[in-house]
Amino acid sequence: MAKRIVVDPITRIEGHLRIDCEIDNGRVTKAWSSGQMWRGIELILQGRDPREAWLFTQRICGVCTTVHAIASVRAVENALSLEVPLNAQYIRNMIIGAHGIFDHIVHFYHLSALDWVDIVSSLKGSPKGAAALGQQLSPWPRNSEQEIRAVQEKLKSFVGTGQLGIFASGYWGHPAMKLSPDVNLLAATHYFQALEYQRKINKVVAILGSKTPHIQNLAVGGVANPINPDSQSTLTIERLFYIKTLIDEIGDFIKNVYMVDVAAIGAFYAEWTQYGAGVTNYLSVPDMPLDTKGTAFDLPGGYIGDGKVGSFKPITGFNDDFFKQGVKEGIKHSWYKGDWDRHPWEEDTVPQHTDFQDNGKYSWVKSPTFNGKPAQVGPLANVLCMYAAGHAPTKTYTDILLATVSKLAGAKVGIAALHSTIGRHAARAVRCAVLHDSLLGQWQSLMDNIGRGDYATFNAPVFPKGEQRGVGFHEAPRGVLSHWVVIQDGKIKNYQCVVPSTWNAGPRNNKDEPGPYEASLLGNPVADPEKPLEVLRTVHSFDPCLACAIHLLDPESREIVTVRTMV
């Protein structure tokens, strides 16, 4: 007889996600994904100046702040057909690249690796053995016995105080954990090192964006970073060379630690290439614009249907009707009034909550479709599309990672293995390396353009009378993010955000087809329904951000808290 389990809330994610599963004979046979809070940001924006929308939308989330700011200014610029100075494109691209690298490192090491790595087991590991293993896998200089021993002593100090600190409440000793103590100890060492490197790369976002989270340098029409080599109060060459130092420092960690660790996890847990594929329609968008009109991109995007890489169709830019006309959202199973399937420009946001209804409405998240079908977004979709497009760095890093997995597993592992739970981690590591290469290229392009005497960073927007419609998209760390704006006489008439976790965490659509989370859980093994570690593995592989998919609004506009700032 099937057993129903409810995981609420899913932890080590952003926001509030509930997952229900029916387990029969040790396998998931049915699943529901439910966002548990409502996002009212679309209503807050109605009637406001489009130039300030990005300041509001990046408050949707405390992690994905930058991505909403970027998508928002692009949406308004698209509505106005406004060009963006080349320097502003490069500065935005550098923020995008640094933020993406930061996000991918945090996701693997600090949010999901603990589904595969048994921290308690690492206490039994041998620092000498772990160091020997690490040095065998890569030339990373910090795989030393001395550094690994120091990490183990730190972990022992947690245990010595009678508690595990941040590692409390894990499924330690779970039968699905299969790494040796030495491997666990090596992974735990990289966990701590990753804290240091994610901080380093996030400094790039803070320097260019004036702060992080919630950058302050964007503007509709460009960025607020004045460039003047003769003034210390602007973006100087000295600051740009410091940024280059930070970018250089992160490169070794990505290629000699992150990619190697993901390959090792993939080889040790090779059976997980058979679980978690789910929806295999993949959607990604091009990013890192290289011209003022946003028609040429460093990173390609497009659509792959039914997992067939050969079916790839590119998305060429912000005005490509293949994307602009292909996106819809439905609310048949979402807590909103009505039952419709509409283009974002035609949507409304009228909440209507009911109880959790298995066959009715059960989530605050809407159900997006692309040309009538559910689609998976995220690093896997992005890497598969870039690979299909012939993007050289993507092909290089994908081949390197698969070759490492094959060597460690002792069997040939091809690109088909990426359609899986573990494949989403592999794709994220590949994308991180690709972003690093692109980040270096964007830095050099900015320096070269400044060297040609171009210091422009802003074009002033002009809002004509009448109605304008625009879309801004961005290939965010969690996948395709798009903001859709309708402007009437210089004010926002309608605004909709279709975010990555809406695509992946959405409930069944208007045809009752399951969303990517739900579909990916079907067939997953569950050794112990009281400790559903395997469910977490697949859900975490998407890097959920329900704070983006949903949010809260007080319609009475009552004051909740007063904050005083000191300058």
Count CB-CB contacts under 10 A for residue 492.
21
Sort 307 into a burial class: Cβ within 10 Å, 0-12 / 13-18 / 19+: middle
Catalytic residue among 64, 385, 432, 497: 64
The residue annotated as part of the active site, out of 21, 385, 497, 548, is 548
By DSSP bridging, strand 282-283 and strand 287-289 are unpaired
478 is catalytic: yes
Dump the DSSP string for 300-351.
--EEESTT-GGG-EE--STT-HHHHTTEEEE-TTBSBSS--EE-GGG----B
Longest Cα–Cα distance of the chain, Å, equals 75
Of 68, 104, 333, 428, which residue is the catalytic one? Answer: 68
Q: Is 350 left (phi over 0), alpha (psi -120 to 50) or beta?
A: beta
The amino acid that residue 524 corresponds to is N
Give the C-alpha separation, 42 to 53, whole Å: 10
Length of the chain: 567
> If 0-12 CB within 10 Å is exposed, 13-18 middle and 19+ buried, where does residue 410 land?
exposed
- Tell me if 346 is assigned to a ligand binding site: no
Sole residue written with tokens 């419609």: 469
Catalytic residue, chosen from 16, 21, 61, 284, is 61
- 61 known ligand binder: yes
Residue of 501, 508, 518, 540 marked active site: 501
Q: Quick check: 384 and 376 in contact, CB under 8 A?
A: no
* 501 catalytically annotated: yes
Helices (H), 210-236: none
Q: Is 16 annotated as a binding residue?
A: no
d(CA 46, CA 42): 7
Q: Is the peptide bond between 213 and the residue preceding it cis, with omega within 30 degrees of 0?
A: yes
Angle value at C-alpha 287, between 283 and 289, nearest 5 degrees: 150
**Residue 42 annotated as binding site:** yes
The response to whether 551 counts as a known ligand-binding position is yes
* Annotation says 64 is catalytic: yes
Given 74, 478, 508, 540, the catalytic residue: 478
385 is catalytic: no
Would you call 421 helix, strand, or coil by DSSP?
Answer: helix
Is residue 249 a known part of a binding site? Answer: no
The answer to whether residue 548 is catalytic is yes
Of 83, 415, 478, residue with least CA distance to 283: 478
Please state the residue numbers annotated as binding site.
Answer: 42, 61, 64, 545, 548, 551
Please state the residue numbers annotated as binding site for Fe cation.
Answer: 64, 548
The residues assigned a catalytic role are 14, 61, 64, 68, 478, 501, 545, 548
Please state the residue numbers annotated as binding site for Mg(2+).
Answer: 42, 551
Please state the residue numbers annotated as binding site for Ni(2+).
Answer: 61, 64, 545
